[in-house]
Amino acid sequence: MTQLLTQQRKKWLMLLVLSGGISACSQPGETVNTGRNFDRKAMLQQYADNLIRPAYADLQAKVNALNTAATIFAGAPTAANLTAVQTTWTDAYTAWQYANAYNFGPAGEEGIRKGLIEEIGTFPTTTSKVEATIAANNANFNDFNRDARGLPAVEYLIFNSEGSNAQILTSFQLANRRNFLTAATADIKRRVDEVVAGWNTYTNSFVSRNGTDAGSATSELYNEFIRSYESIKNFKVALPLGKRPGQTAAEPARAEGYYSGQSLLFIKNHLTAIENIWYGRSRDGKAGVGFKEYLENVEGGQALVASTEAQLGNVRKALNALPETVPLSQQIRTNPAAVENVLNECQKLTRFFKSDMSSLLGIAITFASGDGD
């Protein structure tokens, strides 16, 4: 009996040793890289200080310049003043490409207000609504007609995709049209000013919510990053190509920047903004901690980083094959295969940004894109 008890004690001791060994081999940071030691708070602070707030501040400055130029033009609709409005609009819309991925917090939905991207960036503009508002001379922008205000609606007013500046100047002899222009730019300015002011107090809350749950800042940032990228694929490329659900043919006039003919300029800047978020890099090139470093701190992350960056290069190569001097709408008509190649390369990148990245970081996709990905 004594010998049997001794043998049982030896077995229990052996099990305890093995159990301790297994436990020791599973400690975070040793054989299994879980990313638990990654400082998400520092990452969020970096995004707030070097990407988000500077993007909105630059947008604010460019929108203020646009509003001033529009006011001057409305008072004196000359060729020189029209050129000034067109230039400041292009500057503002380019700046918008670097801010449109941050539709949360001060730029998020509140009551009947939608995210800033819907309030000032909805395209294509429904021109019949714009013209009806001009005819009634009742532009207040407190309605649900988000496709008849914002930067795209201003573009429709001050550019002519098929005519000349002389025709635009003639149209602005109508006082109602001048009234709409100044009201539209003032509305854009008001909304952007509110977001910039909001971030002055929202930053601390943003940085402190550094978990990965659906209500965290990490989740908000990641989901808006994905939505912003998908807007390039789904709306800036697929929509004018006629590749969205329900479309049966190309619709080049539905391209972003259709009236100014600058679609590719905006797409390329938007892609650069997406790359900057991925790297945690400011617009002026200042390096920081971003999603790339976050992924490198989780198991399997380095392989995903390599795949993602290779495909980012493929998307950029496909975009660069389209001459920027020829409007995208025209290239859709004359060289659709090259434009469709951009869409195909964007589609390949979606898997890495959306499915694989979400899985490795443990951050749920909280929006519905409706594109079958």
300, two tokens: 């399997």
The CA dihedral of 80, 81, 82, 86, to the nearest 10 degrees, is 100
Residue with structure tokens 């107090």? 201
| DSSP 8-state class, residue 32 | B
132, two tokens: 């009806």
Cα angle 307, 314, 296 (rounded to 5 degrees) comes to 25
| Cβ atoms of residues 285 and 181 within 8 Å | no
Distance (Å, whole) CA 164 – CA 135: 23
State residue 6's pLDDT score.
43
Q: Give the H or E element holding residue 115.
A: none
State residue 14's pLDDT score.
41
Q: Which residues of the chain have pLDDT under 70?
A: 1-36, 369-373
| Cβ atoms of residues 188 and 151 within 8 Å | yes
21, two tokens: 């060994």
Distance (Å, whole) CA 51 – CA 30: 33
**211-373: which CATH number, 2.60.40.1120, 1.10.3720.10, 1.20.1420.20, 2.115.10.20?**
1.20.1420.20
Distance (Å, whole) CA 357 – CA 270: 20
Distance (Å, whole) CA 373 – CA 370: 8
State residue 223's pLDDT score.
97
38, two tokens: 């990654």
State residue 371's pLDDT score.
57
Q: Is 211-373 in the same CATH topology as 37-209?
A: yes
Distance (Å, whole) CA 97 – CA 269: 6
Distance (Å, whole) CA 227 – CA 232: 9
Neighbours of 305 (CB within 10 A): 20
State residue 52's pLDDT score.
98
Q: What residues contact residue 67 under an 8 Å CB cut-off, 6+ apart? A: 182, 185, 186, 188, 189
Q: Please write the tens of the pLDDT for every residue from 161-191.
A: 777 899 999 999 999 999 999 999 999 999 9
Distance (Å, whole) CA 348 – CA 308: 9
CATH number of 37-209: 1.20.1420.20
| Cβ atoms of residues 327 and 267 within 8 Å | no
Residue with structure tokens 């819309």? 93
> Would you give the distance in Å from CA 71 to the centre of its chain?
29
Distance (Å, whole) CA 280 – CA 274: 10
Cβ density class 145-161: b for 16+ within 10 Å, e for less: ebbbbbbbbbbbbbbbb
| DSSP 8-state class, residue 147 | G
Cβ density class 18-32: b for 16+ within 10 Å, e for less: eeeeeeeeeeeeeee
Domain spans in the chain, listed from the N-terminal domain onward: 37-209, 211-373
324, two tokens: 């920027």
Cα angle 210, 61, 263 (rounded to 5 degrees) comes to 85
Q: Please write the tens of the pLDDT for every residue from 53-102.
A: 999 999 999 999 999 999 999 999 999 999 999 999 999 999 999 999 99
Tell me the sheet residues that pair with 203. Answer: none
State residue 23's pLDDT score.
35
